[in-house]
Amino acid sequence: MKITVVGGGSWGLALSKVLSDNSHEVLVYDINEKIVKKINEKHICLQLNEDIPKDIKATNNIKDAIDHSEVLLFVVPTKVLRLAIASFVPHLSSPKLIINAAKGIEPETFLRMSEVFEEMIPKEYLKGFVSLSGPSHAEEVIKGMITVITASSEKEENALFVQDLFHNSDYFRVYSSTDLKGAELGGGLKNIFALASGLIAGKGLGDNARAALITRGLVEMGKIYESYGANPQSLTGLTGIGDLIVTCTSVHSRNFQAGYKIGNGKDLEETLASMTMVVEGIRTCEAAYKYGKAHNLEIPIIEAIYEVLFCNLDPDNASKRLLGRNLKSE
């Protein structure tokens, strides 16, 4: 089957490798000519310097990308997602199934990514929407290391279609789910706590503190799940605690790396300038903080992380404030 992948970054090419290994015909679209050339001429992922299958092709011609397939896999940072969608919409002439692998929530609107697609793509051109999420690092997937994720859609047939599309019995197992809200929220919110986990590591606060962060972070995620109307059971699945664990404990996580640098004394501007990839957790933290305030949610960890990132709160003072709150039952 022909598949168009929008975004030639590390995660886009890792997923392209899975599709290619499953004998699908993959065309990657990217606006960066350097990335397109690296794919077509050198057959490597520029960001990770890893080989990719030679049958993966790339283009910066948007019409060629759209005409290639009825399935569009979007793998672009959430902050440029609207720009990417806007560039595609004028060229659409037939319904497309949208698969999204980017994770986050819009700070301004509190919209999930599926809602952004629904808002921007005319109904006659939107065949369906599926979120691909779970504990997965591009650095491992591109090497064919064992990974298990979830395809989520409000329409079960779409989730099952994507499950079959990506499942590879050698290294890439895919579950299906109809809790799209839970999958999208988990995929976005876990990045906030990965930032905090990196900060804990950078400050040398130890594994006990990290375990407490992950556990209490799940509680705060649950409050946001409930407010959005997501299924709380998704918290215990791959898109919830699964994604949270891998992002909070792995040096592969760009959010963990960013938090580590902040814990070592760098401010937010310095940290972002030193990162080679987008740190999604910063934008999602802003969204979750504002959403919590708007809906009167008690999410003290998210509030503390927000103030460290955006209000110059010293991490040590943030820690003291969290530990000094009124005692309560679990």
Strands 147-152 and 50-51: unpaired
One of 181, 190, 203, 261 is an active-site residue; which one?
A: 190
Residues in Cβ contact with 236 at an 8 Å cutoff, skipping those fewer than 6 apart:
none
**Contact of 108 with 97, CB cutoff 8 Å:** no
- Please, which residues have CB within 8 angstroms of residue 119's CB and are 6 or more apart in sequence? 111
Rounded CA separation 278/276 (Å): 7
Alpha-carbon distance of 35 to 271, in angstroms, equals 24
Q: Phi, psi (5° rounding) for residue 295? A: -115, 15
- The phi, psi pair for 276, rounded to 5°, reads -90, -15
Which secondary structure element, helix H or strand E, spans residue 315, and what is its range? helix 315-323
The long-range contacts involving 36-45, CB below 8 angstroms and separated by at least 24 positions, are 36/8, 36/60, 39/8, 39/13, 45/10, 45/13, 45/14, 45/142
> Where are any strands of DSSP class E within 20-101?
25-29, 44-45, 50-51, 57-59, 71-74, 96-100
- Say whether 190 is catalytic: yes
d(CA 126, CA 287): 26
- What are the beta bridge partners of residue 51? 44
Dihedral through CA 186, CA 192, CA 196, CA 202, nearest 10? 110
Q: Residue type for 114, please?
A: S
Q: At what angle do helices 254-263 and 180-203 cross, to 10 degrees?
A: 30
Catalytic positions are 190
